[in-house]
Amino acid sequence: MIDKDDLRAAINSGLLSEKQASDLATLALARQSSASDLAPGDEPFELFRGFNEVFIIIGLFILGIGWYSVATLALGDQIVDLKRYAIGVTLAGAIVIWLLSEYFVRRRRMIGPASTLAIMFVVNATSGFFAYFAEPFMIGQGNLESVPLPLFLGLVALLIYWWRFRVPFAMAILAIGFFAVTMVFTASKGGEINEFRDLFLLSAGGPFAWITLILGIIVFAIAMLFDMSDPHRVTRRSTNGFWLHVVAAPALINTIGLTLLNQDTTLSTLGLFVVLAVFAVIAIIIDRRSFLITAIGYVVTVAITVLDGDGVALTVLVLGATMLFLGAFWEKIRARTLRVLPARFPLHRLPPSHV
């Protein structure tokens, strides 16, 4: 680790200028995070680094509200081309957000403000595309044909933003956004969602649950590509994978779990627990706890739906004990699981076991 004495020596020897030394010190400090203090095998997770980032996040939200308010007041009662005005405001907002991102994301490498700016960028872009392409009257009549295009263009804009700034949280927004675009497009072509559960119930008869399942598999595959490119989890690629897993796990488990739970038979309930166990094994192998967090919700759902009051209490008790057991011995369980995998399994592309 380079310290201040090393930097002073580099300046005195002419190896670095004072500005270069200052920039290097800033970069080194920015790269330090709570992940550096994690025990071997622990999964890095960080939403913001210090209260100064929280302060900046609040400032960004207030700035966004002020920007929207000023843009609305400036319009007033003037008779103007609303579409052109909205595009102008959107472009100006995109420029401001981009410049802020250059400072807070690329230069300061802040985590919380980076996620906030990604949200602001996609909301700003999608709002502008909606104002230009969407047909409010048609939407009011239940015709959604004008909705998918602005949604899709907003996601394309976010993808460009991610390409420049590599904000991991943008991956979650992109995954959820493409899920929404696909669902809205399907609905605009005649698909009908009678209940929210139709998005996950394969037996509902519509295409929505199958779309959820397929997109969940695709998102999981992309997440694994990120994870396998950074098995030691030292770069933002693994953080991209983390946020994609957060989206993929509910899509997969909810679809399979709700479909089995809806059959309301002993065999389907047993099958549900088998599926949850499989997902738990997958989570242990790839060293991602997000799958288990989603599975836990379904265990509770099964307990409340299928069992009586005493059964619910017992299930929750066992669940809590299981979580504590996994949390305490996760690495040992994972090490033993990895040992029984076949030799051709690409263990070198997965996080190493530290036991």
Q: What is the pLDDT of residue 293?
A: 80
Q: What is the pLDDT of residue 253?
A: 83
Q: What is the pLDDT of residue 82?
A: 77
Q: What is the pLDDT of residue 123?
A: 96
Q: What is the pLDDT of residue 60?
A: 96
Q: Where are the domains of the chain?
A: 44-178
Neighbour tally for 92: CB within 10 Å: 13
Query: Which distant-in-sequence residues (6+ apart) come within 8 Å of 41 by Cβ?
Result: 287, 330, 331, 334, 351, 353, 354, 355
Measure Cα distances from 327 to 37, 210, 289, 290, 337 in Å: 18, 33, 10, 13, 15
Q: What is the pLDDT of residue 84?
A: 84
Q: Which residue has the tokens 């295409």?
A: 207
Where does residue 149 rank: exposed (0-12), middle (13-18), buried (19+ CB within 10 A)? middle
Q: What is the pLDDT of residue 26?
A: 64
Q: What is the pLDDT of residue 196?
A: 66
Tens place of pLDDT for every residue, the chain, 355 residues? 566 777 777 777 888 787 777 777 766 655 555 455 556 666 767 788 888 999 999 999 999 999 988 888 877 666 567 788 888 999 999 999 999 999 999 999 899 999 999 999 999 999 999 988 988 878 777 778 889 999 999 999 999 999 999 999 999 999 999 999 999 998 887 767 766 667 777 767 778 888 889 999 999 999 999 999 988 887 888 899 999 998 998 888 888 877 877 776 778 778 877 888 888 899 999 998 877 787 677 667 666 765 555 556 776 787 788 888 888 888 899 999 999 988 888 888 888 887 7
